[in-house]
Amino acid sequence: MAATKPMRDQVTDYIISLQTSIVEALEKLDPSAAPFKRDSWVRSEGGLGQSCVFAVDPESKDATAHQTILEKAGVNISVVHGQLPPKAIAQMRADHSEIPYDPESGKSLPFFAAGLSLVIHPRNPHAPTVHANYRYFEISEAAEESDATPPQLYSADKAQGKVIAWWFGGGSDLTPSYLYPEDAAHFHDTLKSACDPHHEALYPAFKKWCDEYFYIPHRKETRGIGGIFFDDLSPADHKRLSEEANKTKPKTPQDIFAFVQSCGNSFVQSYVPILEKRHATPWTDTQRRWQLIRRGRYVEFNLVYDRGTKFGLQTPGARIESILMSLPEIARWEYMSDMGTQEDTEEAKLLAVLREPKEWATTAAH
Q: pLDDT (tens digit, 0 to 9) for every residue of the chain, 366 residues total?
A: 445 899 999 999 999 999 999 999 999 999 999 999 999 999 888 899 999 999 887 776 665 666 899 999 999 999 999 888 777 777 777 777 777 766 667 778 889 999 999 999 999 999 999 999 999 999 988 765 434 444 334 444 444 678 889 999 999 999 999 999 999 999 999 999 999 999 999 999 999 999 999 999 999 999 999 999 999 999 999 999 999 999 999 999 999 999 999 999 999 999 999 999 999 999 999 999 999 999 999 999 999 999 888 877 877 677 888 888 899 999 999 999 999 999 899 999 999 999 999 999 997 544
Neighbours of 110 (CB within 10 A): 21
pLDDT at 164: 87
Decide: 36 and 54 in contact? Cβ < 8 Å. yes
Query: Cα 198 from chain centroid?
Result: 20
pLDDT at 287: 97
Q: According to the model, what pLDDT value does residue 318 have?
A: 73
> Are the beta carbons of 111 and 82 closer than 8 angstroms?
yes
Q: Which pLDDT value is given to residue 71?
A: 95
Q: Which of 131, 186, 198, 238 is catalytic?
A: 131
* Residue 22 CA, distance from chain mean position: 13
Q: Closest by alpha carbon to 79, among 119, 132, 38, 41?
A: 41
Domain 7-355: CATH superfamily, name plus number: Coproporphyrinogen III oxidase, aerobic (3.40.1500.10)
Residue 131 falls in the annotated catalytic set: yes
pLDDT for res 199: 97
Q: Where are the domains of the chain?
A: 7-355
Nearest to 145 by CA among 118, 114, 115, 110: 110
Query: What does the pLDDT read at residue 364?
Result: 57
Identity of the residue numbered 238: H
Tell me how crowded residue 157 is: count the other CB atoms within 10 A of its CB: 5
- For the chain, give the number of residues: 366
Give the predicted TM-score (pTM) of the model: 0.91
pLDDT reported for residue 195: 98
What would the 3-class secondary structure string for the chain be?
CCCCCCHHHHHHHHHHHHHHHHHHHHHHHCCCCCCCEEEEEECCCCEEEEEEEEECCCCCCCHHHHCCCEEEEEEEEEEEEEEECHHHHHHHCCCCCCCCCCCCCCCCEEEEEEEEEEEEEECCCCCCEEEEEEEEEEEECCCCHHHCCCCCCCCCCCCCCCEEEEEEEEEEEEECCCCCHHHHHHHHHHHHHHHCCCCCCHHHHHHHHHHHHCEECCCCEECCCEEEEEEEECCCCCCCCCHHHHHHCCCCHHHHHHHHHHHHHCHHHHHHHHHHHHCCCCCCHHHHHHHHHHHHHHHHHHHHCCHHHHHHHHCCCCCHHHHHHHCCCCCCCCCCCCCCCCCCCHHHHHHHHHHCCCCCCCCCCC
